[in-house]
Amino acid sequence: MITNIKEYLLYNNFNELAVDILTLAKEILPDSFLFLSAIVNNEQHILKTSPNTEHINIREGISLPLKVAVCSRIDFTKGIPLVYEDISKESSLDDIKGIYSNTNVNAYLGVPVILRDGEVFGTLCAVHEKAAQFNEKSIKLIEKIAKMFSYYLELEQLAYRDHLTGSYNRHFLERYFNEFAHEDGAIFFLDLDCFKEINDSLGHDTGDLILKEVALRMEAVMRQRNINGAVFRLGGDEFIINLVGKLSVQEIEEIAEAFIERLSSWDFQIKEFNLSVSIGIVQYTNTMKLTLNKLLKKADNALYRAKTSGKSTYCFF
C-alpha cells in the first residue's frame, strides 16, 4: 500500500540499512554494480547504489516508468529472480534495449523484494557493463539478503501503519509533518457522520469494513487528483490528511468536496444511515512555526463547526 516514495525515507535507519544490504551483496558479487530500487505508482525509483567502478549510468534518485524497466519482467507473484547474462542477445527485450544501452547495462540480475503479505517493495539488482554469468549459489545468497531486508520493512510498517485500515497512524503523522514543516500545507480533520449508528445497528464487523473502505476511498482520491500528502487514522472514525505544498483556498475547497462526494455514496445497506463525512481545515505556512498539536486543535475546532452546521460539509478554521 505504499503510495509515496517519501515513506521509505522516513523509516528508522533506512539509509544506513540500505547501505549495509548493498555492502553484504557486494561481498557475494564483488565485481557487480548493485542497486536497491523501489516500485511505486508504476515507476521504478533508484534508492541506493553501490560504488560504481564501471561506466554504469544508474544513479541514486532517478526514476523511470516501470513499463520500460527490465524489472517489469520479474515474476513478482512467484518471487523468482530474473537473470539476463547478455541483454544484447535477448530478443524479448528489443522494445527497451535502447534504454539499457544508454545505461551501459548488459548483464542483469534482479531479485524481487516482497513482503509476506505479497506487497512488492522493489528489487535488489546486480548489473555489469559487459555480458556476465551469475552462479546459482550467489543468486540464492542475494535472495536471502533481499528477504532479510523485507523483514525490516515489515517491522517498520507495523510501527507506522494502522492495523485495521492500513492508513498511517498518529506516530507516523508526527514524523511526516516534521519532515515537511519547512513547506506550506494544510491539515484536514475528517470525522464520519452517523458512523456510531451503523456500529450500533449493524455491528462492529460491519463498522470495521466501512473504515477499511473509507481509507481506500481516501487514498483513491489522493491518487486520482495527484495530491501531495498522506492519509492518517487517529482512531475510531477520525482521520487526518496532511497536504504538503502551497495551495489556494479554491484548490483546498475542491479537494474537500472531492472527499465529501467520495465518502457520501454507499450501497443500499448503508445508504439509509446517510453516512458521510465532515471536515475541519486549517492552512499553515512555513513561517507560522505552529506545532502539529496546535494545528490539530485548530482543525478540530473547524470540524466541530462543520458538524454543527449540518454535517457532510467542511469549514476552515
- Catalytic residue positions? 237
Amino acid present at 158: L
Is 193 in contact with 311 (CB distance < 8 Å)? Answer: yes
| Separation in Å, CA 218 to CA 13, 79, 256, 258, 260 | 29, 30, 11, 9, 10
Give dist(CA 279, CA 19) in Å, integer.
42
CA atoms within 13 A on the CB side of 154: 14
Amino acid present at 48: K
CB neighbours of residue 53 within 10 Å: 11
Q: Which residues contact 76 (CB under 8 A, 6 or more apart)?
A: 112, 114, 120
Alpha-helical runs (H) found in 194-287: 195-202, 204-224, 249-262, 268-271
Give dist(CA 37, CA 63) in Å, integer.
9
Amino acid present at 286: N
Q: 81 phi and psi, to 5 degrees? A: -60, 150
Q: Got the DSSP string for 117-133?
A: TS-EEEEEEEEESS---
Q: Quickly tell me which residue has 512467484 as its cell.
A: 78
| Separation in Å, CA 2 to CA 40, 115, 122 | 7, 12, 11
Give dist(CA 316, CA 295) in Å, integer.
12
